[in-house]
Every structure is written in structure tokens, then in C-alpha cells.
Structure 1
């Protein structure tokens, strides 16, 4: 992998990690609306891989693949944000759902049902579920959630990889953020908690989860969006996320 001069063999690294880019692209695509093309994610991911190859040094103290994954995913997310794949109107709708959930949680003392959220939003249950379906791909965290207080637009990775020893993911997980997420997931309604476990721990796709839970793939997508909205509402109360 390295030349006799100790420098990274860039061509070898590039060829060896192309499958990683494709795997990350397909995994991310599974969480996004149909309008997002996997080829666009792969193209952005390749740019991230090249960036990782050019920036990486063994003195970082991390394996190259670990470092590359951060850069590849970051490049894909930058591409999604630039492309505005989730329209502003849809983000506003997700924000309304999160606020409604937070309001009802405080008022009722338990996670609100779909009917309770729909009623507060003054819409029918069907309209609410359609809104959830349209919000497929809503994320737990956005880069904007970590923007500077003055609204700066610096890259998340550039701001958190300030020196060769920095690991932005580990820095985040070493805070109480990780425990906040664990607590928020534990407080989800049983059905949504099971869904999140199947999706993120067992890595089943929506169709497979639907077969396990006995519901359609589109229904799984709705429930996933709703679970993410609940988590964001909880994390916002802990000041971990910004506006949707």
C-alpha cells in the first residue's frame, strides 16, 4: 500500500476503496426519497475518497478506512444539502411534527399517538401519514445542527478536524450526546423502537422490516420518519439539534 519512500500509493487506495464508496452510497440511498440517484451519491463519495487520500497521514492515529468513511459520507451529505433533496416546505412540515410531538409529550406525559399528533396539527390521520411518507429521508442530525453560533458555513469536518489527532465522530460520541440518543430511543413507543433496532442494528431494509412487522414498505417508511421526528424533538429539548 505504501511506496519505499513511505508515501501512500494513491492509485492503490483509490481502487481498493471504490467498493466502500458504492456500499455507503447504496446504504444511504435506502434512507432517501426516490428522487435521489445512487450514481450522484457515488460520484460525490468518490470526491470524498480522493479528498481523504490526499489528506490522510499515518500520524492521524486512525486506520485509513475509518478516516475515509467520514470524508465519503461527509461529501455525500454535502451533495444532498447542495441539491436540496428535501424541499424547504418538507423540512418545515417535519419541524411542525417535531414541535407537535414535543408539545403533546409535555402535555400528556407519554409519546403521542399518530391520531393525537394529527389532531393537534388539524389534519386527518391519512393526511398526517401522507406527510410522514413524503418526509422519507428525514435525518436525525444535519450539518446545520452543528453550525457555528454566528451562522458560519464552514464544513463540519473541517471545523472539527482541526488537527491531526482530531476524530469528530469520537468527539461527539464522547460527550453526553450518545447517552441522550440512547435514552431517546429507549423512550420510543415499542413498535418504533423495534423498527429502529431492525434498521440500524440488524441493518434490514424497509421491505424486510415490513415482512417482519407485517406491514407494507411504505408504512415502515412512515413509522421510521415518525421515530426520527420523535428523536429530534427529544434532542432539541436537550439543545442538541437546530431547526429542521
Structure 2
């Protein structure tokens, strides 16, 4: 698209390729913690798209969409790195919760209540709920689970940027999807509602809080706890 003076019409190009930015953002956010906002990724992706429009050279023999996709993903990954989106401390707290849930499920033969999980961890209920708010529902499958105990500085590049080599591709497997559906059915009723509204109806935390009649921070706690329960069940799978 060009202007009357033969120059690339940036506004028209931005409008034409903005759906590409949204699609890439939704693909990426499915692999990230709940505290990463889709609007933030889209905003950063639009910056990447603008950069691609300014740098694109048709003479290099590369299609614009291919070139733009690389620039958009690169901008999103840079933003995630800069935000330190999932620290080692956060991952440890999440795993501590999962371990407590697993031990209680083995002993009780049912999904443990919040107060029981807190007691198992040697915490009072308020401190436990505060921890849930801090971990903010980290993702269902950790990217570093695929890279060993020592971590991997390049896992964002290798697993989030590369759709063909990411752990979320496991969810495309029929048995894995079936296990996930069955695990969600075993969640306490309110947590089932949260997961349904967040992932199936694409509602944000504020909207879910309004439906349930609780605070947004409480929804965040319920989401974090749901993720911990699901990860325990999926490990058994």
C-alpha cells in the first residue's frame, strides 16, 4: 500500500497487519503466567510491527509477513525478559504449594481445602493466601521443566518463539487434553468457574471478580490455587 506520492502508507499497513499482532500475542500468552496482560503484549507487538515496516526491504526476497512475525515476536520476548516475568523464587513457591497439595490429596483422598493446604505448609491462612497472590497463577506447564534443573537462559527463545518446539504443544495431544479436562472436573466448584471464565470465556480478573462477587485479588488467589492442583494431576498423567 502506497500513498499518492509513492511512499509506503504506514497507517494502512498497521491496520492491515494489526490482526497478526493480536494472533501472535494470543498464541504467546497461552504459554505465560496470568499476570502477563494480553494488552501489554499487543502494545509491544505493535511497536515491533512498526519497526518491521520501517526496516522491511522487499529486495531481500522475504515476504513481509514472515519478516514482521520475527520482529513482532522479538519485541514481545524482549519485553518479557525485561519484566523478569517468572523468577526462581516464584517458581519455588508454586512448587511448594503443589507439593503440599499432592501430600494432602494422597492422605485425604480428595481435593484439600485452603486452610488444610496452609496448615500443611506451616502457615496461617492469611499468609498462604498472600503467597497465592504473589505467585499469580504461574503457567500450567513451566518452560524450564523442559530444560533441566540448572535452568536455561535461552528457553524463552527456544520454546516460546518456536511454535514447533514448545511444551504447550503437549496440550495438542488428545490424551493430554482429556487428562486436563478430567482434572478440571475435580477442582472445587468455585475454582472450576474461575478456570472456565478465564480460559474459555476469555474474561479478565476484574470481570470474573464481578461475577463471583469477590475482589480481584481473591480471583487471582483462586486461579493460582487451581493451577497448582492441575499441575499435580497432570504430573500423575
TM-score higher than 0.5: yes
Q: TM-score, normalised by structure 2?
A: 0.69
Q: Which ranges of structure 2 fall in alignment gaps of 5 or more residues?
A: 2-7
- The CA RMSD measured in Å over matched residues stands at 4.5
1:214 aligns with 2:198: no
Structure 1 or 2, whichever has the larger Rg, is: 2
Q: Which ranges of structure 1 fall in alignment gaps of 5 or more residues?
A: 2-8, 58-63, 239-244
Q: Which string of whole-angstrom CA distances, capped at 9 and with x for unpartnered residues, describes residues 205-243 of structure 1? A: 2122112111111111110111111111222233xxxxx
SS in structure 2 opposite 1:32?
coil
Give distance in 2, aligned partners of 1:193 and 1:131.
21
| Counterpart in the other structure of 2:194 | 195
| Counterpart in the other structure of 2:173 | 174
Q: TM-score, normalised by structure 1?
A: 0.67
> Which is helix-richer, 1 or 2?
2
How much does 1:129 deviate?
0.3
| Counterpart in the other structure of 1:226 | 225
| Counterpart in the other structure of 1:236 | 235
Alpha carbons of structure 1 residues 83 and 214: separation in structure 2 relative to 1, 3 Å = closer
Give distance in 2, aligned partners of 1:215 and 1:205.
14
Aligned ranges 1:1-244 → 2 under 5 Å: 15-18=15-18, 20-21=20-21, 24=25, 28=29, 31-32=34-35, 39=40, 42-43=43-44, 47=48, 76=76, 79-81=79-81, 83-147=83-147, 153=154, 155-156=158-159, 161=164, 172-238=171-237
How much does 1:87 deviate?
2.7
Give distance in 1, aligned partners of 2:232 and 2:197.
22
SS in structure 1 opposite 2:207?
helix
How much does 1:15 deviate?
4.7
